[in-house]
Amino acid sequence: MKIAIAQINCTLGDIAGNAARILDASHRALASGADIVITPELSLCGYPPEDLLLRDDFVAACDTALRELAARIRNIVVVVGHPRGRRGHLHNAASVLRDGRIVATYAKRDLPNYTVFDEERYFEPGYDPCVFDVAGVRVGINICEDVWGPQGPRTARPTGAAGTDDPVAAPGTQADAPRCAREAGAEVLLVLNASPYHVDKLSTRYDIVGTRARETGMPIVFCNLVGGQDELVFDGASFVVDAAGTVTHQLVAFEEALAVVEIVDGRPVGGEIVPQQSLEANVYRALCMGVRDYVGKNGFPGTLLGLSGGIDSALVVCIAADALGPERVRAVMMPSQYTADMSLDDAELLAANLGVRYTVLPIKPVFDRYLETLADEFAGRDSDTTEENLQSRIRGTLLMALSNKYGAIVLTTGNKSEMATGYATLYGDMAGGFAVLKDISKTLVYRLCRYRNALGSVIPERIITRPPSAELKPGQVDQDSLPPYEVLDAIMEIYVERDVGPVEIMRLGFARADVERVVRLLTLSEYKRRQSPVGVRITPRGFGKDWRYPITNRYRDKF
């Protein structure tokens, strides 16, 4: 038997377009000699559909598209992920299409409800295995979370379940999903996935899927979605393991791909294993994919951003140019009286190196008029962060004006360290449509800039080596207001991504003053983060779907 893995980039809600993509993959798989092709989780509608699933018309449109797709399938078996509504029950399902018909349907058993996932809000769990014959081989289906960890035996089911044609029809106590498929006679397990990327995710997948293969004695084909969807990036990186848990095939990450896997005597014949790349390479590619798909799938003609001569905006403009092409990127330098000459020089050189459009719009005349207008209100009060934030808000207004005029989306340049501590200005440098570095710590920003320059030196060295500064007052540097970034980022990672409390963090060797300062700033800045644009998630805990802290909140960590 030959199995084709269709690692495709689906667009959420583009049901007809996704169906066409699946059909094209099935044609190419057939031409490659495949007997069966597997597509990602919910490939027909895109993932995650979220509250679209609450609309009966959306679910009905998916059902109609599935039947129309099935009618066009000949000479190959296609496994398609889709939502399935029947008699008041909604399932995350996978259907087997063969000879113009839907011949079997599997409903996902284990529904994830943690971090970015909330499938229990929409779906009911399935209970029955789905095993079918292809070229003399018994093939089973699981969907994503089904293989990530046993949830224990299921002894109950909803009352009034549907009839025998429903995928959850048969009652009874069952083991975890992979073992259940094996007990039903499966010799090979196909797993449809929409597993989002974060750092080191692939090694975790290897561990989990390899364990399931060894437990069941079955080879497992892991087909993963690829592409960006709002803050989530799906890296693809589909793979196959044999019954011993050894990787036999590894597809490329962050690209669409179609690979054919041959099964002989129940074992996958070894194929191409694409080498894993460095952390910096994977993160950079994830950021590029996030930008490319957010801009492209939402129909923006291009992007623009404020280029300051600093390291954060330097990284963002590189990502934008690499993701979209320099012709779709516009960099705007908005100097004030506090902007250093080297910032102007470095920004211009960087823009020239990348070939992006570069514009200079001085803000001092506008700033002076604002101060003149506010003179009576500010009389007798010292200059403070108000005047600093005013400069940032002028810049944000200018960028949004250009966005309105040209239709390009504004990319903000703030990083995760700044979002954590509130070192950003509402309606200023936070103004925009997509926050590229929202989940990138400052220390990782430096690593990514070094990585990008290793591909081709475009970022002037001085941008990387000079002390970071907002340049909103004379002699200003970030470390006037924040702990050293290596300290800040370490505390932030432990507190935010691991949910470790301040006492435990101090026991790891961090100074009490630094921990108190970072945690206090984190707590006070939630109202800003809630108003920040969506941005790419690359850690297990980003400031987005999986960070849900209340704004009005009097709880304070104990020290």
Looking at the domain assignment, is residue 12 inside a domain? yes
Q: Are residues 337 and 374 in the same domain?
A: yes
Going from the C-alpha of 502 to that of each of 127, 180, 423, 495, 508, the distances in angstroms are: 43, 44, 21, 8, 10
Looking at the domain assignment, is residue 552 inside a domain? no
Domain boundary among 241, 275, 309: 275
Sign of the C-alpha dihedral computed for residues 176, 177, 181 and 182 taken in this order: negative
Q: Are residues 263 and 300 in the same domain?
A: no
Q: Are residues 306 and 176 in the same domain?
A: no
* pLDDT at site 88: 86
Per-residue pLDDT averaged across 191-213, rounded? 95
**535 pLDDT more than 50:** yes
The residue count for the chain? 559
Q: Are residues 290 and 151 in the same domain?
A: no
| CATH code of residue 446 | 3.40.50.620
Q: What is the pLDDT of residues 279-321, one digit of tens each?
A: 999 999 999 999 999 999 999 999 999 999 999 999 999 999 9
Q: Are residues 419 and 286 in the same domain?
A: yes
**156 pLDDT more than 60:** no
Looking at the domain assignment, is residue 448 inside a domain? yes
Per-residue pLDDT band at 149 (split at 50, 70, 90): low
**164 pLDDT more than 60:** no
Looking at the domain assignment, is residue 556 inside a domain? no
Number of structural domains in the chain: 2
Residue numbers of the domain that contains 444: 281-482
Burial class (CB in 10 A: 0-12, 13-18, 19+), 428: buried
Q: Are residues 154 and 218 in the same domain?
A: yes
d(CA 98, CA 382): 76
Q: Are residues 257 and 314 in the same domain?
A: no
* Predicted model pTM: 0.92
Per-residue pLDDT band at 478 (split at 50, 70, 90): low
Domain boundary among 482, 513, 537: 482
Cis peptide before 48 (omega within 30 of 0): yes
E strand segments, 385-432: 409-412
Sign of the C-alpha dihedral computed for residues 258, 96, 197 and 181 taken in this order: negative
The alpha helices in 469-511, defined as continuous H runs, are 485-492, 502-507
Going from the C-alpha of 167 to that of each of 188, 340, 521, 548, the distances in angstroms are: 20, 66, 50, 34
Looking at the domain assignment, is residue 475 inside a domain? yes
Q: Are residues 192 and 310 in the same domain?
A: no
Per-residue pLDDT band at 172 (split at 50, 70, 90): very low
**155 pLDDT more than 90:** no
Q: Which two tokens stand for residue 556?
A: 């304070």
* pLDDT at site 87: 83
Q: In whole numbers, what is the pLDDT of the chain averaged over residues?
A: 92
Per-residue pLDDT averaged across 162-188, rounded? 65
Q: Are residues 369 and 326 in the same domain?
A: yes
Active-site residues, by number, are 41, 108, 144
d(CA 113, CA 529): 23
Q: Are residues 183 and 332 in the same domain?
A: no
Could you give the percent of the chain with pLDDT greater than 90? 87
Domain boundary among 482, 517, 549: 482
Q: What is the pLDDT of residues 18-64, one digit of tens each?
A: 999 999 999 999 999 999 999 999 999 999 999 999 999 999 999 99
Q: Are residues 135 and 206 in the same domain?
A: yes
Q: Which residue has the higher pLDDT, 161 or 467?
A: 467
* pLDDT at site 476: 66
Q: What is the pLDDT of residues 363-396, one digit of tens each?
A: 999 999 999 999 999 999 999 999 999 999 999 9
Looking at the domain assignment, is residue 359 inside a domain? yes
Looking at the domain assignment, is residue 374 inside a domain? yes
Looking at the domain assignment, is residue 59 inside a domain? yes
| CATH code of residue 92 | 3.60.110.10
* pLDDT at site 153: 34
d(CA 37, CA 31): 12
